[in-house]
Amino acid sequence: MNGELGTLAQIQANSNGARGQLQATQTQTALVAQLVGQVQKQRQLNLAAIMQEKVELKRFKAMGYQGSSVRDRL
| Confidence class for position 1, pLDDT limits 50, 70, 90 | low
Query: How many domains does the chain contain in total?
Result: 1
pLDDT tens profile 3-58: 777 888 888 898 989 999 999 999 999 999 999 999 999 999 999 999 999 999 99
Inter-residue long-range contacts of 71-74, CB under 8 Å, 24+ positions, other chains counted: none
pTM for the predicted model, two decimal places: 0.57
Task: Please name the residue ranges forming H helices in the chain.
Answer: 2-62
What is the C-alpha separation between 48 and 37, in angstroms, rounded?
17
66 phi, psi to nearest 5 deg: -115, 105
CA 73 remoteness from chain centre: 33
Residues composing the chain: 74
Q: Determine the structural domain holding residue 24 and report its residue range.
A: 2-73
